[in-house]
Amino acid sequence: MARISIFGIGYVGVVAAACLAQDGHDVIAVDVDQGKIDAINAGKSPIVEKGLGPLVEKVVAAGRLSATADIEYAIQNTDASFVCVGTPSAPNGAVGLVYVESVCKSIGEALAKKDGFHSVIIRSTIVPGSCEGTCIPTLEAESGKKAGTEFGVGYYPEFLRESTAIEDYYDPGLIVFGSMDKPTAAILNELNAPLDCEIHSVDLRTAEMVKYTSNTWRAVKVTFANEIGNIAKSCGLDGQTVMEILCSDLKVNISPYFMRPGFAFGGSCLPKDVRALRHLAAENKVAAPMLNAVLEANAAQIARAETMVETTKAKKVGMVGVSFKPGTDDLRESPLAELAGRLIKNGVGVEIYDPFVHEAFAEQNSTAGRGNDVVPDLEGRLVGELEKLIADNDAIIVGNIYKDALAELTAAAGTKPTIDLARLDRKKVSGGSYSGICW
């Protein structure tokens, strides 16, 4: 069992302290508020949360949870510290790190007087780079020790919901943490091992980003549901019924398939249907800022890819894929076709490898090139062999993934400027001649 100090007896801190103590760990809660300290030591919860009062009473009585204002005492008598202080918004909207930095300073001063190894694990919500840019430099400066070797560092975000915090702690939907060193990773693995949930051990910045992404995604879902509800009501419909039916579809609507960062959406349905729903909202005098933002963001992703191509200064580019998705010859509102059209208009030579579009033209299908209204001389730009496309062009744009093309494209990405909009390989990130649009 671990010995843990919790800095910050707020909502996250007291729930974590009580649950860790219930699991058999020895916990010391640390705060500057004497009222909170006295409450804990009296076996009372300083906040109102379902089931928390009896739990605090039980673990304090068992001698596994106590509270103090003595930082040095807490550091000397524990193996790891959790920093659970607030990060309110700064006046300019940035994350406020005043409390986190202050606690790290105090912990660092105490670490200077401790002989043994100690892990400092941030649980406060902080933007990517905060551990490396603020927490670690502060800890090192005050302790005179080196992070990762002389003391440990981790970032371990929480995903607790108020009113169900204890249930969420023991039945988590997500566990993720980042660590600089093996001892810190070992502690975090030990604490989470009994829980029935996959453990994601990543780098510090990824863990920081996951926390912000999770919170923002929840906000986006609430806003989207409200916007749909407002439009539904304007049509005399029940928005909650609409969303309940939508959420019953676990195959498409509640699916990770559409949650993969990459290129813009297109096709015969999504763009026109977003436009139509937005127009309906306007007709009914219902504000729909999120629907407006969807189309704006989609257009911005095409512009982003265009800029990436311009950066290569390539005079001729080979595009892998032009249909709106692999496995079809449909070009209706294809973002790849739009990108090709923009490049051609800007004087860039464009050749295209798309086996399905090529097949449609080769077989003289009456629907060959269906939906294309942006790529001039589409048939004349098609190349039947990927090897020739790669050899004849200054840069390659990977728009669609075709399995039989993966090996050649991966090899080419190491020697020729490659703009990847579809992710050739999950292990590959931007660097050298290779540029991924979101990675």
Return binding residues for substrate: 159-162, 211, 258-262, 266, 325
Dist. CA 76–CA 83, nearest whole Å? 16
Please enumerate, by residue number, every residue annotated as part of a binding site. Answer: 31, 36, 87, 125, 159-162, 211, 258-262, 266, 272, 325, 332
* Cβ-contact 419, 398 below 8 angstroms: yes
Q: For residue 87, how far is the Cα from the chain centroid?
A: 19
Q: Three-class SS of residue 4? A: strand
State the Cα torsion 210-213-215-219 to the nearest 10°: -170
Residue 325: which of 335, 338, 340, 315 has the closest Cα?
A: 335
**Rg of the Cα atoms in the chain:** 27
Phi/psi-derived region of residue 289, left when phi > 0, alpha when psi is between -120 and 50, beta in every other case: alpha
- Residues 87 and 94: their CA atoms lie apart, in Å, by 10
Tokens 């939508």 correspond to: 246
DSSP conformation letters of 361-383: HHTT-TTTTTT--SSTTHHHHB-
Torsion angles phi and psi, residue 243, rounded to 5: -70, -35
Could you list the residues known to form a binding site for NAD(+), using ranges. 31, 36, 87, 125, 162, 272, 332
Strand partners, 178: 155, 202
CA angle 332, 338, 340 (to 5 degrees): 120
Nearest to 328 by CA among 241, 267, 281: 267
Q: Which of 197, 235, 247, 269 is catalytic?
A: 269
Residue 420: phi and psi, rounded to 5, are: -100, 115
Query: Is 269 one of the annotated active-site residues of the chain?
Result: yes
Q: Which of 310, 318, 371 is nearest to 349 (CA)?
A: 318
Tell me which residues are annotated as active site.
269
